[in-house]
Chains A and B, each alone.
Chain A
Amino acid sequence: MITGTPKPIEEIIEMLEPYDNIIVAGCFGCVTVCRVGGDKEVQILSSTVRLAREAAGKKIKIKEVCLERQCDPEYVELMRPYVEDYQAVLSIACGAGIQFMAEKFSVTPLLPGINTGFLGVTERQGEWAERCQGCGDCVLHLTGGICPVTRCAKSIFHGPCGGSVHGTCEVSKNVTCGWQLIIDRLKSLDQMENYAKLKPYKGWDKSRDGGPRRIIREDMI
């Protein structure tokens, strides 16, 4: 899923300074699963903002909504009938959802209520960790199912570097060495022959370096 963290409330209050009639929009997609942008978070954030503005003597009216997904046009369009009745939309979806709404509603300012994080997994209640950078050219079949691009701090293809100590990365004792994980997995899969091969230069053009990416599925159009 796409993960995220709430923006500090002070930053949100500052963003909302010019407005007194807004929509707070959540999303039932990834951000609901990682508990940062679902309907519950819409309610909590809206209440917090109302209280803060009341305390500051500058009341704000808030319409609370939560879309099925902010990244799909059919759901975003549901807001069209009323969006222009409000001065701004504070979205707590991921950056993709916020931008999609901004594209659709050209005269309404869209404000980010969360900082979008990464493509990750729930390791345990309340803890998420990155697993994929969406680099566009997956090699997981060669690396024991562990991604060198994401899990290695240097994204190297022939690791680990000299900074791997007792299974941890030189960057921090709290970061597991991705290449230690790869080697452990290759050993348990009896695939160490994959380690001994030289890997070609990676084509980062399939990653974000090629500019904003697009997928076109002719069979679906």
Chain B
Amino acid sequence: MHIRRTKDFKAGLIFIFFGIASAVFSAGYQIGTSAKMGPGYFPFALGGVLTVLGLVVSLGSLSRGEGTRKARSFRVKPVVLVLSSVVLFGLLLRPFGLVFSTVILIIVSSMASDEFKKKEAILNAFVLLAIVLIVFVYFLKFQIPLLPSLLVGRI
């Protein structure tokens, strides 16, 4: 199968997934009439439209194929490391504070690069930490927990 076609096919599947999900959940809300539309009316209709669009895209990809563009190589490492560095930051910010979670974010996300150097990443983490503390905490006065909440309670 041509790559272009599988791309369209998958994109169509995503549309169908969201379309059906939207329609199914909206059916649980009040649909109403066109004069007095309920909260389900619009998303239900949109879900239907998106499902149809998804079908057209997917089926269209099966019937006619054109072009054989190479698929870009898919690599797991950047996806996983970049996303998990962000998620980790979110999870750690409240309990452990900005200082700790900043260092984790920088180091984990740096590992996603092919040119990762341990020392450089750690240095980068501390430089950025200093910038963040000066700009956001000192200058703009953002309300962000800085240190682990347990520690703060004890002092």
Report whether chain A binds chain B: no
